[in-house]
Amino acid sequence: MISALPDFPWDSLAPFRERAGSFVSSGSPAEGEGLVDLSVGTPVDPTPQLVREALVAAADAPGYPQTYGTPALREAVAAWFARTRNVPDLDPAGVLPTIGSKELVAWLPTLLGLGEGDVVGFPSVAYPTYDVGARIAGTTPRVVDGLAALGPVTSASAPRLLWLNSPGNPTGQVLGLGHLRKVVEWARRHDVIVASDECYAALDWRTEQERVDAGESPTGTTPSLLDPRVCDGDHTGLLVAYSLSKQSNLAGYRAAFVAGDPAIVAALLEVRKHAGMIMPAPVQAAMTVALGDDAHVAEQKERYRARRAVLQPAVEAFGLRVEHSRAGLYLWSTADEDCWVTLGRLADRGILAAPGSFYGTASGRHVRIALTASDERIAAAAARLTA
């Protein structure tokens, strides 16, 4: 039986949305009027033209698509990992397209056959769907903020599934190679499946020195769970979830995948075939093209870099402290007060953010401020915050 699910949190923002929507400029044209919505990380920039063209070219699709994804798509994922994530040895047999990454996060415990008596672990400050997915499967959700927090465990008492999220949503924290390696070594001792949500990996804002201090190449990629420096080239028991929503503005396409252990992927595939969980053929074709083009990803990253450079100083001038936020699409910010108070003060400036309480009881004094608005609206938010 499904454990009790929490209320859908975004509905509680309605009064703040209305409050922010009534904002009237104090006189500066730069402030603009009305709502600046920085609450949800939904892309606003155009889908790349080459991706749209690929979608149209594949629009004549009268037959059923492959649940497994086309060979071209799975090979494109493997090539993308080798080219951009320092994972040269991903087997295309260990790749499975998913209908967005949230779907995979929500259903993975169920697809793995977990249920009553099993434990699913995830960070204390985290995307709420990790907890929801554990409840849908009827498992026990458990906060795991470090292996030491679990105390002495055996293979029988350890979580069956452990979620990592790096770069993290909402915090923007990046887990280093050493941290990931310790998790993998521990998980293999206790027969734990590790799933790493890496959907923000293309948006890493760390400096070259920060990367060097973390034991990485100064120009290297965000560490992946499948990196041979983490797992010695052995993907057994390991999965990575990734989405093209952020790097390619494909949120409306629901274009994502899970990759890693071919044996686990094969088991997921069997269930998904029975359940009809299939990515549409035109989306598979568009996704294949998107994965092969790095130029549009770099262009989109620079858009977000510029917006970040405008918004972060303004957030700090407003009196908020930006913590972590070394990657991803958000400024994880606090005024050392209840998050709903901060949310109200932002709404009075016509800005809607997300309260930290959406992401766990440990984050009730933070707000998440997204970079996903147009240049004009980001500039308006900055002008309001510094007015």
Domain of 330, CATH number, reads: 3.90.1150.10
Mean pLDDT (the chain, rounded): 94
Residue 4 lies in a domain: no
pLDDT at 155: 67
- Same domain? 174 vs 100: yes
Residue 334 CA to residue 80 CA, distance in Å, equals: 36
Q: Which of residues 239, 269, 292 is at a domain's end?
A: 292
Give residue 266's pLDDT.
Answer: 98
- pTM, 2 dp: 0.94
Written as one letter, the residue type at 142 is R
- pLDDT over threshold 70, residue 1: no
pLDDT in tens, 343-378: 999 999 999 999 999 999 999 999 999 999 999 999
- pLDDT above 70 covers a percentage of the chain that reads 98
Q: What is the pLDDT of residue 147?
A: 76
**Do 136 and 190 belong together in one domain?**
yes
Same domain, 124 and 258: yes
Q: Are residues 68 and 24 in the same domain?
A: no
Tens-place pLDDT, residues 124-169:
999 999 999 999 999 999 999 877 766 677 766 789 999 999 999 9
Q: Indicate the residue among 238, 269, 292 that finishes a domain.
A: 292
| pLDDT digits 0-9 by tens, 251-261 | 999 999 999 99
Single-letter residue type at 63? G
Could you tell me if 138 and 285 lie in one domain? yes
Residue 325 inside a domain? The answer is yes
Q: Average pLDDT for residues 223-233, to the nearest whole number?
A: 97
**What is the 3 state secondary structure string of the chain?**
CCCCCCCCHHHHHHHHHHHHHCCCCCCCHHHCCCCEECCCCCCCCCCCHHHHHHHHHCCCCCCCCCCCCCHHHHHHHHHHHHHHCCCCCCCHHHEEEEECHHHHHHHHHHHCCCCCCCEEEECCCCCCHHHHHHHHCCCEEEECCCHHHHCCCCCCCCCCEEEEECCCCCCCCCCCHHHHHHHHHHHHHCCCEEEEECCCCCCECCCHHHHHHCCCCCCCCCCCCCCHHHHCCCCCCEEEEEECHHHHCCHHHCEEEEEECHHHHHHHHHHHHHHCCCCCHHHHHHHHHHHCCCHHHHHHHHHHHHHHHHHHHHHHHCCCEEECCCECCEEEEECCCCHHHHHHHHHCCCEECEEHHHHCHHHCCEEEEECCCCHHHHHHHHHHHCC
Average pLDDT over every residue of 28-32: 82
Residues 347 and 267 in one domain: no
* 172 occurs within a structural domain: yes
What CATH number should be reported for the domain holding residue 179? 3.40.640.10
Domain extent at residue 352: 9-46+296-385
Contact between 37 and 352 under an 8 Å Cβ cutoff? The reply is yes
What is the three-state SS of 117-174? CCEEEECCCCCCHHHHHHHHCCCEEEECCCHHHHCCCCCCCCCCEEEEECCCCCCCCC
Which of 292, 325, 352 finishes a domain?
A: 292
Contact between 65 and 73 (Cβ < 8 Å): no
Above 70 in pLDDT, residue 44?
Answer: yes
Distance CA 94, CA 185 (A): 21
* Length in residues, the chain: 387
Tokens 């070259």 map to which residue? 208
Token digits for 177?
């190679």
- Lowest mean pLDDT across 90-99, 149-158, 230-239: 149-158
End-to-end Cα, the chain, rounded Å: 53
Residue 266 within any structural domain of the chain: yes
Does residue 53 fall inside a structural domain? no
Domain contains 217: yes
149 and 215 both lie in a single domain: yes
Residues 286 and 305 in one domain: no
Label residue 238 by pLDDT band (50, 70, 90): very high
| CA–CA distance, 169 with 364 (Å, rounded to integer) | 15
Average the pLDDT over 106-111 and give the result: 98
Residues 13 and 65 in one domain: no
pLDDT band at 27 (very low <50, low <70, confident <90, very high): confident
Tell me how far apart the alpha carbons of residues 105 and 280 are, in angstroms, rounded to a whole number: 19
CB-neighbour burial class of residue 5 (10 A; exposed 0-12, middle 13-18, buried 19+): exposed
Question: Looking at the structure, do residues 138 and 267 belong to the same domain, yes or no?
Answer: yes
pLDDT at 32: 85
Residue 354 domain-assigned?
Answer: yes
Cα 360 → chain centroid:
16
What is the structure's pLDDT at 2? 65
What's the pLDDT score for residue 95?
A: 98
Q: Report CA torsion sign: 328, 334, 339, 342.
A: negative
Same domain for 302 and 194 = no
pLDDT in tens, 161-213: 999 999 999 999 999 999 999 999 999 999 999 999 999 999 999 999 999 98
Residue 2 forms part of a structural domain = no
Query: Could you read off the pLDDT of 47-72 as tens digits, one per residue?
Result: 999 999 999 999 999 999 999 999 99
* Residues 193, 320 within the same domain: no
Domain count, the chain: 2
Q: What is the predicted pLDDT for the residue at 302? A: 98
Residue 385 pLDDT greater than 90, yes or no: yes
